[in-house]
């Protein structure tokens, strides 16, 4: 019971960190080209992960682990950051909430396919209800859509759900922060080369504003590394399908942060839908095993 509770706490911390990822990416792509942003953030996070692995003298993964690390890297190191950065050139960060609301269901599906978990039928009922609630609210308040942007976000959700489930499965034996660190290192050669090739000129870099640099630093350190330390630990301790449902409240955490930090108005509809999403998370948690 204590381990399960710890899993939900760690998972919630990870969700809070991830809640700022799409808004930060939206700001960053106004100054940085999407490919460079994806590769540079992965390169910085990989260097941080390498330092942790060396300082804490972590053993190398087994031969059979590298394929799973490759899937994780393709999902959360390359796929999701690149696809969302491309999508956010066509849609607002608010509109992308529609698709983040579907991520818990996608993660749960891959937890069954790749993680061997078998939630009870009522789990799926609460999961579908939560996804529909979040997506329905977001679709009525997110602004103008884009066919290309929407398609990119759908692809991002699919690869992210796979990366979450595969990384969490491997974290059972390697450890959460070790999995994201090795995944980042596996992708580092390609990410470093592409970052150098797509790097903006010195003249363009001098024109980048403070908000874009702050957003770049956030997605590199928090979204790409620190968030995964808590997230994978939470998924292992509490169950991939169950703790993954915490992502239902991620869009509303982001909106809440915007209200506090940016003084944006929070409507009663947001409060009501947030309460409904929390109830769906609680129901999914109860019937996850």
Per-residue model confidence as pLDDT tens digits over 119-178: 777 777 877 787 777 667 666 655 555 778 878 888 998 899 899 889 888 988 888 899
Q: Is the pLDDT of residue 264 over 60?
A: no
Q: Is the pLDDT of residue 87 over 70?
A: yes
Q: What is the pLDDT of residue 133?
A: 76
Q: Is the pLDDT of residue 208 over 80?
A: yes
Q: Is the pLDDT of residue 271 over 70?
A: no
Q: Is the pLDDT of residue 245 over 80?
A: no
Q: How confident is the model at residue 70 (pLDDT cuts 50, 70, 90)?
A: very high
Q: What is the pLDDT of residue 136?
A: 74
- Count of domains observed in the chain: 1
| Per-residue pLDDT reduced to its tens digit, 7-60 | 889 999 999 999 888 788 888 888 999 999 999 999 999 999 999 999 999 999
Q: Is pLDDT larger for residue 227 or for residue 106? A: 227
- Owning domain of residue 88: 2-286
Q: Which two tokens stand for residue 154?
A: 């759908």
* For residues 208-229, average pLDDT: 93
Q: What is the pLDDT of residue 110?
A: 79
């Amino acid at each position: 019971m204590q381990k399960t509770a710890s899993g939900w706490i760690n998972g919630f911390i990870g969700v809070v960190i991830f809640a700022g990822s799409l808004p930060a990416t939206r700001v960053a792509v106004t100054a940085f080209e999407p490919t460079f942003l994806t590769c540079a953030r992965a390169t910085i996070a990989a260097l941080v992960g390498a330092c942790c692995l060396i300082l804490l003298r972590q053993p190398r993964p087994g031969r059979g682990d590298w394929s799973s690390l490759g899937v994780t890297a393709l999902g959360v190191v390359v796929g999701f950051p690149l696809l969302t950065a491309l999508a956010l050139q066509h849609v607002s960060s608010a509109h992308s909430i529609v698709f983040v609301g579907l991520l818990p269901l996608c993660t749960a599906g891959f937890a069954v396919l790749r993680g061997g978990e078998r939630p009870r039928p009522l789990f799926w009922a609460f999961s579908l209800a939560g996804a529909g609630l979040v997506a329905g609210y977001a679709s009525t308040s997110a602004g103008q859509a884009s066919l290309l942007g929407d398609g990119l976000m759908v692809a991002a959700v699919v690869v992210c759900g796979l990366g979450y489930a595969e990384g969490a499965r491997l974290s059972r034996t390697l450890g959460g922060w070790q999995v994201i660190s090795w995944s980042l290192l596996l992708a580092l050669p390609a990410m470093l080369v592409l970052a150098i090739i797509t790097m903006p000129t010195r003249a363009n870099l001098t024109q980048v504003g403070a908000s874009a640099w702050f957003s770049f630093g956030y997605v590199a350190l928090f979204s790409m590394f620190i968030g995964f330390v808590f997230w994978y630990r939470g998924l292992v301790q509490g169950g991939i399908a169950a703790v993954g449902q915490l992502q239902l409240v991620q869009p509303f955490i982001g909106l809440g942060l915007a209200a506090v930090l940016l003084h944006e108005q929070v409507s009663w509809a947001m409060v009501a839908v947030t309460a409904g999403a929390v109830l769906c998370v609680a129901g999914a948690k109860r019937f996850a095993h």
